[in-house]
Amino acid sequence: MENKFFVDSEFLSPAALEKKHRLETDPSSRTDCMQYMEGMEQIKSDVRENVMSHVDAYDYDSYTAADVEAALGRERCTIEDFKALLSPAAMPYLERMAQRARIETSRHFGNTVYMFTPLYIANYCENYCVYCGFNCYNHIRRMKLSMEQIEHEMKVIADSGMEEILILTGESRAKSDVKYIGEACKLARKYFRMVGLEIYPVNTDEYAYLHECGADYVTVFQETYDSVKYETLHLLGHKRVWPYRFDSQERALRGGMRGVAFSALLGLSDFRKDALATGLHAYFLQRKYPSAEMSLSCPRLRPIINNDKINPLDVGEKQLCQVLCAYRIFLPYVGITVSSRESASFRNGIVKIAATKVSAGVSTGIGDHESKYTGKQSEGEEGDEQFEISDSRSLERMYDDMSKEGLQPVLNDYIDV
C-alpha cells in the first residue's frame, strides 16, 4: 500500500528542522518527562506506585512450567499467577489458557460481542511522538471538523445502526479545546446511547465538564509504561509528561465518568512488562473504584511514517493471544477490545475466546465516513489517517460475520432512564 504521508523534512523551515534534529539527538534539549507542566493537576494516589513496584520487580524468565500449571489450576488468578501467564513459560500452554479464557468470557459475558465505531473529529497535534502519524512534525493534511460536519458524520454513522461512538482528536488544546470536544459530545447524545472519548488527558474538572456534556467513558493509551523508553519516544509536548498521562483514568473517574479504558501500544517496549502494567493499572483502580467499568485494549503497532526510527519490537499473533487470554483469566469482569489494527480472521477468532468488543466501519481519517459508509464522495475535504487499519469491514458485514460465528452482536446494552 502506498504511503500517504509525505517526507516531513521537505516541508519544514530550517529553524523547525534544527529544533527537530536537536530534540532527536540531544536529550538535554528535552524537558523532564517526569516533571508536570503548568496547569497540569497533580493528584495524590497510590495506584502508580503499586503498579510500577510490581513491574520493576517482574523477572518473567524466572517463571517455570510449574508456575503456569499452578496458575491455571487455581479458581482465582492472583497477581503472581498473572505474571506467570504472561511469561515465556506460558507459551506452550496457550491452548489451555484459551480454554480457560473462553470459560471465563462465557461465564461473565455469555456469547455477546459489543460493537462501536470511532470518529476522528480533528488531527492537529502539538506533540512530537516519533511513532505517530499525527505528530506535529509530519506533513499531513490537517483538518478540524466544524459542528455541522461533526453532526453530518454522526448522522451517517447512526444511520448504519451503530449506537456507540468513540470521539477522537489529535492532542492539541489550541485546535481542539475542551469546549469544542464538549460540544461534540452534546451532538453525539442526539444520535448515540454510548459516547466515549479518546482525547488528550485533562484535569478532573474538565473530565467532569465533558461528562456533563454527555461523555460516558474515557480511553487513554499510556503507549508504554516504561518511563525510560517513553522519554525517547515522546520528545515534545504535553504528552511527554509520563505521570500526568498515567493518572488520566483516575482523574476521569473522579470527574464522574462511568468507565475508563487502558492500553499500551505493544511493540514500543517490552510487551510482557507493558501488558503486566496495563492489567495491574486496571486491577488497582478497580479495587479503588469498585463501581466503575473497566476495559482493556491490546493494540499492536501498525505501519505509519517514522516506524524506521523506533526499532519496534515484534509482537506476533501468538504473543497477542497470550496477553489477551492472561487478561481475561486475571480480570474476568473487564471488557476487552480488539481494534481494527488486527486482521478480520484474528478478530473473528479472539472474540470467541477472550475479547468482548470490536470496532466496525472504522476510519482513522477525518471527515470521510460518508465516502466509506455510502460510497458517495464527501462534499468537503478530508484529513489524513493516523495509521493503516487491517480490518476494514462495515458494520453490516461485521454483524453478519459475528452472527455466523455463533455470537450475538450487541450495538448497545444501556437503557436511558
Between strands 293-297 and 112-120, the pairing is unpaired
| 174 SS3 class | coil
Q: How far is CA 188 from the centre of its chain?
A: 20
Distance CA 42, CA 249 (A): 13
- Give the pLDDT score at 411: 82
- List Cα–Cα distances, 228 to 30, 56, 85, 233, in angstroms: 13, 12, 25, 9
Q: Between residues 414 and 9, which one has the greater pLDDT?
A: 414
Instruction: Place 9 in a pLDDT band, splitting at 50, 70 and 90.
Output: very low
Q: Is residue 266 part of a domain?
A: yes
Residue 25 CB: number of other CB atoms within 10 A? 8
- Give the pLDDT score at 378: 53
Give me the mean pLDDT over the 171-182 stretch: 96
Question: For 194, which DSSP code?
Answer: E
Question: For 144, which DSSP code?
Answer: B
Q: Is residue 220 part of a domain?
A: yes
Distance CA 346, CA 265 (A): 18
Percent of the chain with pLDDT over 90: 70
Q: What is the pLDDT of residues 101-136, one digit of tens each?
A: 999 999 999 999 999 999 999 999 999 998 888 888
Q: Is residue 66 part of a domain?
A: no
Query: Do residues 324 and 104 lie in contact, with contact meaning Cβ atoms separated by under 8 Å?
Result: no
Instruction: Place 372 in a pLDDT band, splitting at 50, 70 and 90.
Output: low
- Give the pLDDT score at 314: 72
* pLDDT higher than threshold 90 for residue 232: yes
Q: Between residues 399 and 314, which one has the greater pLDDT?
A: 399
Query: Do residues 203 and 233 lie in contact, with contact meaning Cβ atoms separated by under 8 Å?
Result: no
Instruction: Place 417 in a pLDDT band, splitting at 50, 70 and 90.
Output: very low
Residue with cell 499452578: 70
Q: What is the pLDDT of residues 261-315, one digit of tens each?
A: 999 999 899 999 999 999 999 999 999 999 999 999 988 876 544 455 555 567 8
Q: Is residue 369 part of a domain?
A: yes
- Give the pLDDT score at 353: 96
- Give the pLDDT score at 1: 30
Q: Is residue 234 part of a domain?
A: yes
Beta bridge partners of 236: 128
Distance CA 336, CA 348 (A): 14
- Give the pLDDT score at 134: 82
- Give the pLDDT score at 11: 64
Percent of the chain with pLDDT over 70: 87
Q: What is the pLDDT of residues 204-222, one digit of tens each?
A: 999 999 999 999 999 999 9
Beta bridge partners of 196: 166, 217
Q: Is residue 343 part of a domain?
A: yes
- List Cα–Cα distances, 118 to 194, 211, 249, 358, 362, in angstroms: 12, 18, 19, 11, 6
CATH number for position 221: 3.20.20.70
- Give the pLDDT score at 100: 98
- Give the pLDDT score at 414: 55
- Give the pLDDT score at 73: 96
Grid cell locating 155? 448522522
Name which of 193, 292, 201 is nearest 239 in CA terms: 201
Q: Is residue 128 part of a domain?
A: yes
- Give the pLDDT score at 361: 78
Instruction: Place 380 in a pLDDT band, splitting at 50, 70 and 90.
Output: low
Q: How far is CA 131 from the centre of its chain?
A: 15
Residues with Cβ within 8 Å of residue 323, at least 6 apart in sequence: 86, 266, 271, 275, 298
Instruction: Place 369 in a pLDDT band, splitting at 50, 70 and 90.
Output: low
Backbone angles phi, psi at 366, to 5 degrees: -115, 125
Q: What are all long-range contacts of 109-112, with beta carbons under 8 Å and residues at least 24 apart? A: 109/356, 110/408, 111/406, 111/407, 111/408, 112/356, 112/407, 112/408, 112/409, 112/410, 112/413
Total of domains in the chain: 1
In one-letter notation, the amino acid at residue 220 is V
* pLDDT higher than threshold 50 for residue 97: yes
Q: Is residue 46 part of a domain?
A: yes
- Give the pLDDT score at 371: 58
User: Dihedral through CA 58, CA 284, CA 264, CA 368, nearest 10?
Assistant: 170
Give me the mean pLDDT over the 163-188 stretch: 96
Range of the domain at 287: 8-54+89-410
Q: Between residues 24 and 12, which one has the greater pLDDT?
A: 24
Name which of 158, 186, 171 is nearest 124 in CA terms: 171
Instruction: Place 3 in a pLDDT band, splitting at 50, 70 and 90.
Output: very low
Q: Between residues 349 and 388, which one has the greater pLDDT?
A: 349
- Give the pLDDT score at 14: 83
